[in-house]
Amino acid sequence: MPTWLKVVLALVGVMVLLCGLSSAGAYFWFNENKDKLKGVGERAKKEGSAFAYQHDSNECVDEALRRLGERNGIVDQAEHKLFLKACLGKAARPAGFCEGVPPRSEIMLSATWAVERCVAKGRAQDQDCARMMQAVQEACQTPG
């Protein structure tokens, strides 16, 4: 067997091993923290619903983005999105809130809309904000 082939096979083996170890680590971490994560999610939903009673949909978005500015780790982003979904589900929608919101199935239009919405909120070049806008799209596609 040529030396170059041995090197390639060794590299492939190392990559497979690293992928396996990463997957196992992620599995054990999520398994160890699932109750904590579930509690965080439930708390975020309750806070979103409570916030909605005294605020409208625009204020829900502003509050979620404010929270995102304070903490934006991957778990934090999921928490803020759950807050926003719950808030938008209960809050009053001002006239025009869903105007121009594209369906999520329109990928390019959705991306452009989310970027424009984030720029309007003072968060240009913010991918976390753009991902948060998915909750707005979902809410606008749901009657209410």
Question: What pTM does this model have?
Answer: 0.79
CB atoms within 10 A of CB 68: 22
Q: What's the whole-number mean pLDDT along residues 109-130? A: 92
Nearest-10 crossing angle of helices 107-120, 127-141: 110
Read out DSSP for 84-115? HHHHHHHSBPPTTTTTTPPPTT-HHHHHHHHH
Going by pLDDT thresholds of 50, 70 and 90, the confidence category of residue 72 is: confident
What is residue 143's predicted lDDT score, i.e. its pLDDT? 65
Average pLDDT, the chain: 90
- Percent of the chain at pLDDT > 90 equals 62
At 134, the amino acid letter reads: Q
Q: How far is CA 27 from CA 2, 22, 24, in A?
A: 38, 9, 5
Read out DSSP for 8-29? HHHHHHHHHHHHHHHHHHHHHH
- DSSP annotation of 123: -
CA–CA distance, 58 with 66 (Å, rounded to integer): 12
Residue 4: is its pLDDT beyond 80?
yes
SS3 56: strand
Going by pLDDT thresholds of 50, 70 and 90, the confidence category of residue 99 is: very high
Going by pLDDT thresholds of 50, 70 and 90, the confidence category of residue 141 is: confident
